[in-house]
Structure 1
Amino acid sequence: MALSNNNSKRAALGTGLLALAGLVSTPVLAQDAQQIIRDRCLACHTETGSAEAPSFSRISEQRKTPEGWLMTINRMTHLRGLELTREEKRALVKHLADTQGLAPEETEGYRYLLEQDTNLVENSIDQGLAETCGRCHSEARFALQRRTEQEWKYLVDFHMGQFPTTELHSLARDRQWYQIASNDTAADLGKRFPLITQEWNNWQKASKSDLMGRWRVTGFVPGKGEFDAWMTAAKTSEGHYDVTLEGLYADGTALNGEGKATVYTGYEWRASLTIDGVKMRQVMAADKQGNSLEGRMFVAAEREIGGELSAVRDQGKAAVVAVQPSYLRAGEPAELTLIGQNLKGDINLGEGVVVEKVLSRADDRITVLAKATGNEGLRTVRVGQAASESALAVYSELARVDVTPANAVTRIGGAGGNLPKVRASYRAVGYSAGADGKPGTEDDLRLGYMPASWSIKPADEVAAHDKDDKYAGSFNAAGIFTPGDAGLNPERKMSANNVGRLTVVATVADGSTQVEGEGSMLVAVQDFVRRVLD
């Protein structure tokens, strides 16, 4: 298993989001981007093919995400002396991602890295790839690339030339690492992640939907809570949009924002917005029909502080897109808010669920007082002709609570130094026992995110002896953990710093009982090699 929260390894993939967020002032045509390559890259690369279909050595044998191409261009800039204006860099990323990107199916299972949701343990990586690649990279890092087998071999050679101590690292010095990587690993990668795939061929031929228009958005901002909003994307040039966001948090507080977005490869949405004075980033993927967007929004200065984000296009049809909260305890009246568009007609919350009172009603937001009876299970919510399947979970008793993320890395910092603290945001997910009545099985019914109180305790006896829970940091009421200060602490044994190993405890009230769930946290030292690139 590999914990993918590693700032030094993920920084390059996450940096430059501002450059990906639609700030190109004027559109650059494909032939203009190709001319930039001819003018700036052919000192090292060569061109073949025709004028209509040029091919550039090394460049044309790869496909990558927008972030992947930005990393490549930044590496050429910092290591090879490539000189580009900011606008030229953005134009190149746009062109390369559009023409040599990844199909939607090729990013499935790895989008957490694009969305910067990296407090995640990867446990599906092949052992051979874990030993040759995964000891330095997350699986998503190489799985979000496509190359010819020869290009994968060249990548091994690049590592040996650029990082000659690679063979002296753990899992390398006890074997013939270069021979294994060059022969076996490169061949394996060439088969798993080849340049030519049917998925990419199909996506190139597919018609792409313009993402301009009005979108019904739901999401979560740590410290603020769940929200619903209308997002408008006004097209400024091909693939570029001005974006506005207007809505409400669950507590009724207004949400307002505006910014810009760029769409890469026909479906990769990248936006930079200022929401209520805070700079935020959106990373989402559109479905193949261009009618929905799914992804994550996070604070630009703290990618760890973010939450899920989804959007449904307003097509003039009635739609229920979310129910907040997504659960209802049988026998207890509770407020539910139905989020959607063109919500007209009778309200039906499913079998055994009664609307006792409509508290407020608009075409896009309805709040009701509801009460449930009957069996546990998922209910389809309807408003007139609009329906959302499995939108509401009815339960009788909370059986368990999962803490998400289950594992996280935070980092001490601040205290007058140049490296800020790296925080973490937690949420609690509730489950009932399901049909078999046994918690912790496949029959468990997921209820959704639930409000919780947060605390920490030492992870083990050593952490308890060192009083890690006293010095390593603390939670606020919103579930955001802030680690301790950097530097020596004279109160600790041998004046150690404020790192520690903690167990995160979420306590959820359910009727007259309380249910706890636990997660794991490592409070680490600063990441001294974290880079911030344009």
Structure 2
Amino acid sequence: MKMTRLRHYLGAGTQAAMAWAIQQPAQAADGQTIVNAKCMACHTPDGNNSLSRISHQRKTPEGWLATIARMQLMHGLQISDDERREVVKYLADKQGLAPSETDGVRYAMERRLNTVEKFDTQFEQMCARCHSGARIALQRRPAAEWEKLVNFHLGHWPSLEYQALSRDRDWFDLAKKEMVPELAKRYPLESKAWTDWEKHRPDAKTLDGAWSFAGHMPGKGDVSGVMTVASSGDDQFKVSVKGKYADGSAFDGEGSALLYNGYEWRGNVKIGDVTMRQVFAAMKGQMQGRMFDKAHDERGIDFVAAKEGTSQVLGVQPAYLKAGEEAEVAVIGSGLKGKPSFGKGVQVVSVVSETPERVTVKVKADASAVGAHEVSVGTAKGGSFAVYKDVAEVKVVPELLVARIGGNGGSTPKVQGAFDAEAWGKGADGKPFRIGVFPAKWSVEPFDDRAKEDGDVKFAGVMDADSGVFTPGDAGPNPQRKMMTNNAGNLKVVAAVDDAGQTHKGEGHMYVTVQRWNNPPIP
């Protein structure tokens, strides 16, 4: 029952729930008025127009959305969609995070759900064993509020102390005496970064204009083009995208976006028949983040864009060349004007075409150029170009991935797996360097003897041999399997890359598991 209510409050596909905030109501009450009207029944005034608990936290837009949803689910808050949009915008602006405070943990907002987190052991065992560590790192509270959060956890989930990594220690005592001071030190409510950001937060209108972008989607390839942004007032924007994938297919669409806290860009753009969400950090003439399918957040593009009027290289497509060969490559960026350069040993044979956003050239590399090179066009610099002699190693990226069964008449869709084959070479010094993403032939094998015995390759799903996209099996019991179990599986992912007739193989690991029933804005 609770899960049904949660899905009702958050809506289908809440993985990018900021879509609610894209279309602001024309005559909505202001955020402070709604907060006072809806929240003061439980949160007492503290003076200076502040309320207990609420005014002593800072969070991202997704963090505030999750809080409001929890108030609805657990405490009976009655709030309309329009009011919720207004409150999230108000709180994210007034009590958000400075850009530097989100460094290293933006993957949670960008729905990079196969990220392997790295925190210290105590933090992982005490705090990040039930949800991501990023959920904690994207909040700011004083010590008293961190202590209340500890109490909240034990009050709502009293079995917590009997779970693994709790029953072997005095979890509650450790949480209060060791973790609360540590969290207050790491993630304090007051910080110089936040104070400085509040003082110098840029005007949203500076984002108006054309943005050259480059990106890459696993299973699909490189993409580039121009995104045009036009302010429509109140931190809202109209968005138009015109681009192409490397295979020539169109990447065109239109939509809208909303800016929170001066830099947190959240957009919805319909590309063909697919609505894609944008979660970007927009700062200093650049947008960077991820653009992903609204209904399938596992299908996403690593995205970087630069505004017209700036001068920088965003990337090279394709970004590698075998020594001794000649090929056509495109430099993507903004303000591209002048002589293209790929570093010592790489000759620019000819310029095929050039615009301020894209310079296409023919290049030839000799043996002395083996390694990674910085690319420039006139004064614009950035990006990387690799010259290799031989492929030394192939890595499957991500190395570990979780796919999920679904569908089959149920409400939860399948979660696919999408992989890249990343080739690595060795420089003259013997040190490895990344060449880039290569075409590969893909397959899956049983990860271990149990997976082989259970027939996981047969039942867990199908790997597309050309794209590296794995589609899991149907949800529900399977009469063909032992004990009618579901179509979960434990698989080895194999990428076979051909380099001048020599095959190189890389291996990854994929768990095909059950549905993700609880899908909050921050995992």
2:444 is the counterpart of 1:456: yes
Residue identity matched to 1:492: R
Map residues 104-503 of structure 1 onto 2, 5 A cutoff: 104-122=99-117, 124-210=118-204, 211-287=207-283, 289=284, 291-315=285-309, 319-373=312-366, 374-383=368-377, 385-389=378-382, 391-437=384-430, 443-476=431-464, 477-503=466-492
Using the TM superposition, give the Cα deviation of residue 49 of structure 1 relative to its aligned residue in structure 2, in angstroms.
2.4
Tell me the equivalent position of 2:24.
24
Using the TM superposition, give the Cα deviation of residue 268 of structure 1 relative to its aligned residue in structure 2, in angstroms.
0.9
In the alignment, the residues of structure 2 paired with residue 12 and residue 72 of structure 1 have an alpha-carbon distance, to the nearest angstrom, of 17
2:65 is the counterpart of 1:70: yes
**Aligned-pair identity (%):** 45
CA contact (8 A) 1:241 1:260 kept: yes
In the alignment, the residues of structure 2 paired with residue 365 and residue 296 of structure 1 have an alpha-carbon distance, to the nearest angstrom, of 21
In the alignment, the residues of structure 2 paired with residue 12 and residue 176 of structure 1 have an alpha-carbon distance, to the nearest angstrom, of 38
2:120 is the counterpart of 1:103: no
Using the TM superposition, give the Cα deviation of residue 178 of structure 1 relative to its aligned residue in structure 2, in angstroms.
2.1
Residue identity matched to 1:63: R
| CA deviation profile, 1:197-225 (whole Å, cap 9, x unmatched) | 12111211224153222111111234542
**TM-score scaled to structure 1, two decimals?**
0.89
- Matched residue of 2:79: which SS? coil
Matching residue within 501, 509, 517 for 2:506: 517
| CA deviation profile, 1:416-459 (whole Å, cap 9, x unmatched) | 2332211121112221112432xxxxx32122222222111111
In the alignment, the residues of structure 1 paired with residue 185 and residue 199 of structure 2 have an alpha-carbon distance, to the nearest angstrom, of 23
Query: Against the structure 1 CA distance between its residues 363 and 152, is the aligned structure 2 distance closer, same or farther, given a 3 Å change threshold?
Result: closer
CA contact (8 A) 1:27 1:237 kept: no
2:89 is the counterpart of 1:94: yes
In the alignment, the residues of structure 2 paired with residue 531 and residue 209 of structure 1 have an alpha-carbon distance, to the nearest angstrom, of 30
In the alignment, the residues of structure 1 paired with residue 373 and residue 159 of structure 2 have an alpha-carbon distance, to the nearest angstrom, of 58
Using the TM superposition, give the Cα deviation of residue 362 of structure 1 relative to its aligned residue in structure 2, in angstroms.
4.1
In the alignment, the residues of structure 1 paired with residue 126 and residue 341 of structure 2 have an alpha-carbon distance, to the nearest angstrom, of 55
Using the TM superposition, give the Cα deviation of residue 110 of structure 1 relative to its aligned residue in structure 2, in angstroms.
0.6
| CA deviation profile, 1:346-396 (whole Å, cap 9, x unmatched) | 44333222334544444433333322112312334343x243245211111
Residue identity matched to 1:142: I
Using the TM superposition, give the Cα deviation of residue 47 of structure 1 relative to its aligned residue in structure 2, in angstroms.
1.5
Using the TM superposition, give the Cα deviation of residue 344 of structure 1 relative to its aligned residue in structure 2, in angstroms.
4.1
CA contact (8 A) 1:296 1:306 kept: yes
In the alignment, the residues of structure 1 paired with residue 505 and residue 164 of structure 2 have an alpha-carbon distance, to the nearest angstrom, of 38
- Matched residue of 1:94: which SS? helix
2:77 is the counterpart of 1:82: yes
| CA deviation profile, 1:117-148 (whole Å, cap 9, x unmatched) | 010222x3222222221221111111111111
CA contact (8 A) 1:411 1:524 kept: yes
Aligned residues: 508
CA contact (8 A) 2:13 2:295 kept: no
Residue identity matched to 1:470: K
Residue identity matched to 2:434: R
In the alignment, the residues of structure 2 paired with residue 369 and residue 89 of structure 1 have an alpha-carbon distance, to the nearest angstrom, of 53
Query: Against the structure 1 CA distance between its residues 15 and 183, is the aligned structure 2 distance closer, same or farther, given a 3 Å change threshold?
Result: farther
In the alignment, the residues of structure 2 paired with residue 27 and residue 349 of structure 1 have an alpha-carbon distance, to the nearest angstrom, of 54
Residue identity matched to 2:24: V
Query: Against the structure 1 CA distance between its residues 33 and 528, is the aligned structure 2 distance closer, same or farther, given a 3 Å change threshold?
Result: closer
Tell me the equivalent position of 1:3.
none
CA contact (8 A) 2:14 2:521 kept: no
- Matched residue of 1:355: which SS? strand
**TM-score scaled to structure 2, two decimals?**
0.91
In the alignment, the residues of structure 2 paired with residue 391 and residue 172 of structure 1 have an alpha-carbon distance, to the nearest angstrom, of 46
Query: Against the structure 1 CA distance between its residues 372 and 204, is the aligned structure 2 distance closer, same or farther, given a 3 Å change threshold?
Result: same
In the alignment, the residues of structure 1 paired with residue 400 and residue 172 of structure 2 have an alpha-carbon distance, to the nearest angstrom, of 33
Aligned structure 1 segments of 4 or more residues deviating by more than 6 angstroms: none
In the alignment, the residues of structure 1 paired with residue 308 and residue 138 of structure 2 have an alpha-carbon distance, to the nearest angstrom, of 31
CA contact (8 A) 1:327 1:394 kept: yes
Query: Against the structure 1 CA distance between its residues 179 and 319, is the aligned structure 2 distance closer, same or farther, given a 3 Å change threshold?
Result: closer
Matching residue within 25, 31, 46 for 1:48: 46
Tell me the equivalent position of 1:34.
32
Residue identity matched to 1:19: W
CA contact (8 A) 2:315 2:383 kept: no
Residue identity matched to 1:39: A
Using the TM superposition, give the Cα deviation of residue 503 of structure 1 relative to its aligned residue in structure 2, in angstroms.
1.1
- Matched residue of 2:375: which SS? strand
Residue identity matched to 1:401: V
Using the TM superposition, give the Cα deviation of residue 470 of structure 1 relative to its aligned residue in structure 2, in angstroms.
2.1
Where do 5+ consecutive residues of structure 2 fail to align? Answer: 1-6
Tell me the equivalent position of 2:4.
none
